[in-house]
Structure 1
Amino acid sequence: MTINKFEIEGVIEMTPRVFEDDRGYFFESFNRKQFNEIVGQDILFVQDNQSFSTKHVLRGMHFQKPPFAQGKLVRVTAGKVLDVAVDLRKKSATYGQHVKCILSAEKNNQLWIPEGFAHGFLALSENATFAYKCTNYYNAESEGSLNWNDEDFAIDWGINEAPILSSKDLGNESFINFKSPF
């Protein structure tokens, strides 16, 4: 497995070793013992989610507030996305900064996003199936969202046209008014 740690502490890209031959391929997509060694914590996932998006769909920037905060292990099982995580941890030296990572079914890479981050992604391929493991159960009252295009984040999504957003993602909170619960 190849490990890539980012400038923002805690976010880790993991790319498994893939065994290919003329029949196809095999790879281990998750191994709890190995994952916990990589992240340096004992993580237990309790919920798996999956979404399907067409090209230019942008979902984000979402998070769950404590006590329902979620760490997420995200990956793409079909297609390709630009994945983004924004640090919302008040005491972090990288508070308000973000990391970006291209996730693709071709590469089979995954991104670990610990609690205390807003998360979003943009579908880059015609279709993208996005799967993620969560460390806590979803709670509607604890859901939070920030503007995907907030000037304070300065995220370069790499698009020249308006993304396709849900009605929920059209009116998210701006970072300047945000009071982090993390």
Structure 2
Amino acid sequence: MLEPGSIIPLDIGTATQLDIVATFEVDHDAINPKHETNNQYGCKWSSGAAKRGSFGPFGIVVLADETLSELTPVYFYIDKTFEGILTTHFCTDKLRSSLDYDSEKVVYGNSVTVVDGEKLTMRLLVDHSIVEGFAQGGRAVITSRVYPTRAIYDNAKLFLFNNATRMSVKASLNIWQMAAAQVKPYPF
């Protein structure tokens, strides 16, 4: 259970080559028409995972160092209009993915269709500098290259987070370590 404002480290060993399947259940009582709205969210023009809203962001932080000076959050953000219409966004935040100041500092993503009663799901494939995210079985897909300087090899960590201010989130994860590629040169 991820309470509002929480970040939880996951002790899984090396976190540079992972296959992660995550399911998130939101507290639907918190997304009640009586509560405030937080519409007009967009991954591309947001402040990334650090910007707290009533109903997000929440998700997984990959390729992070222990102090969280480098991190790449992949997350959902739910916005709600005054009419009570919900839109779910799926984003990858590269604003703090590297201490290398020449790296690209952007947030990628878009809205993703979520059917009524459906849980939020994501699958992440992490392979050193590649982060691929698939939301809702592939309805939204983001592929990013990140170049961490500290969150590499044994220093790469994995976290769950919920930066929402009004909503708790229940997370279920399956995580597999991926083996390194075995490259054999072609005999000439």
TM category (shorter chain) comes to under 0.3
Superposition TM-score, scaled by structure 1 size: 0.26
Higher helix share: 1
Superposition TM-score, scaled by structure 2 size: 0.25
Larger Rg: 2
Larger relative contact order (Cα-Cα within 8 Å, sequence gap ≥ 6): 2
